Chain A
Amino acid sequence: MKKLINKPEDVVKEALAGMAAAHADLITVDIENQVIVRKDAPVQGKVGIISGGGSGHEPMHGGFVGFGMLDAACPGAVFTSPVPDQMLIATKAVNGGAGVLHIVKNYTGDVMNFEMAAELAEAEGIHVESVVTNDDVAVQDSLYTAGRRGVGVTVLLEKIVGGFAQTGAPLDQVAALARKVNAQGRSMGMALTPCTVPTAGKPTFELGEDEMEIGIGIHGEPGRRRVKLAPADEITEMLATPVIEDLGLKSGENVLAFVNGMGGTPLIELYIVYNALNRILKGKNINIVRSLVGSYITSLEMAGCSITLVRMDDELIKYWDAPVHTPALRWGM
């Protein structure tokens, strides 16, 4: 295992200490409890927004804490849901008297731990609303699975909803906007390589030199199917087509196009994918009104990418464009 770490068991704590030092102007980090909080929290009168999940997806979610996006993030062990204690600490830290929104990705562990945390918070008199993201189209049949995974749309939702909350909107409206973004977004991912969880010491699965995994999640688990390696244009087609179909995108509609790197793929390759995606969407007369290209929801060093499309309207565009200042995203200020 060739990683830029010290001891595997210290990875998360050391990374949190590094983040705290690098972004001391934006965040404070409770390293012992593993909670990252916006420096000026709680922001009085504003809905507090928290999310969390396993470590190993950086910059999600800790890198999105700051003005205009998340108020706090709870990182668990690598690829492991955080525990209710973390979410309770975060919820109390961001409670500005207007309630708190929990953004939960649809994974069994995340959902259960956040549910327990919301119960604890309500017991302490803090009003919590929870929104679950489940945009992954790779998992088709919800009846026979744990349901669609929450992946790329989570990043876009955190930004849009963060922008709206910054205006002082009430909790029920913030939650409604979050559900709207989730409903209008779909994603699909693929991997060229597996990844290695530091404490596991070896890759989560084996891929041959000429193979790729289609329909991956973000936790290093194998995908839906393994096929022969194809050129980027074909890969983009394989990801974009089910997303477009599932979303029912029609000629003339507007989208936000997000090409995400899984962590181990260089930007030059992500732009090749975006080029292909741009051509596919133009061919269907679907307008890209906003774009995001980069590694924002990752799976350690996994090489690969995911594509997320969100059907945009004026409201979503407005809050996407709103100012944001976090370690990973900054514009308008």
Chain B
Amino acid sequence: MTNEDMIRWLEGIADALHENAQYLTELDAAIGDADHGTNMDRGFTAVRAKFPAMQTMDMAGQLKTVGSTLVSTVGGASGPLYGTAFLRAGNAIAGKTDLSAADVVAMLEAFLGGIVARGKAQPGEKTMVDALTPALTAAKTALQEGAGLAEVTARAAAAAEEGMKATIPMLATKGRASYLGERSIGHQDPGATSSWLMLRCLAEVCAGSV
């Protein structure tokens, strides 16, 4: 994966979050305060504006720019969580100009690590961690089995989708949804949904790779 692929990934995320802004907001209305879609769209619209400057950055610099942009524009819980995720993901690939499958897995591990460090959620609490944790596990397994970048990211995206759907019956014990108690059961978590969209876009960009 090169820095042009990275920008294509980020552009894919920006498009996906824009297209799904209303859907994410509706998910967030059911168990939150109806702003997740709008906030993420705003954040990645600001990221999009930085693509020209990112052309000449290395991939670590690109991801760190995304991180700080999200912190400064998204607000809510998603800003610090995704902001820290991208900042740490950037740090994990410092100095690299071409990412191997192993590098991408390390990047995903740091991404999830940033979210857990900032938000302190564990799996099963009905958050983005419930999409990202199985995604990382699937990516690592695929890597161990000798899979290339295309398969690693495809399996990560598929696991994220399953994890996202698995949040539906969960009782929320983190974030705004937790105030609803049992009324949070039966609704898909918006943060897990935006996380899945990010991984789906990654798989799409890496689909052509070996």
Contact = CB atoms under 8 A, between A and B. Distances in A.
Interface string A216-230: 010111111000000
Interface string A75-100: 01111111111000000000000000
B39 A77 contact: yes
Contacts of A197: 33-35, 38
Interface in A233-270: none
Contacts of A219: 32-33, 176
Contacts of A79: 33-35
B143 interface: no
A200 B75 contact: no
A56 to B, nearest CB: 9
B181 A224 contact: yes
Interface stretch (B77-85, B92-100, B144-152, B196-204): B77-85
Interface string A142-183: 001110010000000000000000000000000000000000
A83 B119 contact: no
Contacts of A81: 75-77, 79
B72 interface: yes
Instruction: Give the contact-size bracket for chain B.
Output: 20 to 34
A199 interface: yes
A200 B14 CA distance: 19
A197 B25 CA distance: 10
A287 interface: no
B42 interface: yes
A197 B35 CA distance: 8
Contacts of B77: 81, 108-109, 112
Contact of A77 (B29, B42, B72, B175): B42
A204 B35 CA distance: 10
Nearest to A196: B34
A224 B180 CA distance: 5
A277 interface: no
A160 to B, nearest CB: 26
B175 A83 contact: no
Contacts of A77: 35, 38-39, 42, 75
B73 interface: yes
A199 B74 CA distance: 14
Interface string B56-80: 0000000000000001111111111
Residue in B75, B81, B171 with the greatest tally of chain A CB atoms within 10 Å: B75
A113 interface: yes
Residue in B30, B33, B39, B76 with the greatest tally of chain A CB atoms within 10 Å: B33
A212 to B, nearest CB: 15
A202 B179 CA distance: 21
A22 B174 CA distance: 40
Contacts of B31: 221-222
B52 to A, nearest CB: 22
Nearest to B21: A199
A202 B22 CA distance: 11
Contacts of B183: 222, 224
Given A200-B25, A204-B29, A146 B174 contact: yes
Interface in B67-125: 71-81, 118-119
Interface of A: 54, 76-85, 107-109, 112-113, 115-116, 138-139, 144-146, 149, 197, 199-200, 202, 204-205, 217, 219-224
15 contacts: A78-B35, A80-B33, A80-B39, A80-B74, A82-B75, A83-B71, A83-B79, A109-B77, A109-B80, A144-B178, A145-B179, A146-B173, A146-B174, A146-B178, A205-B29
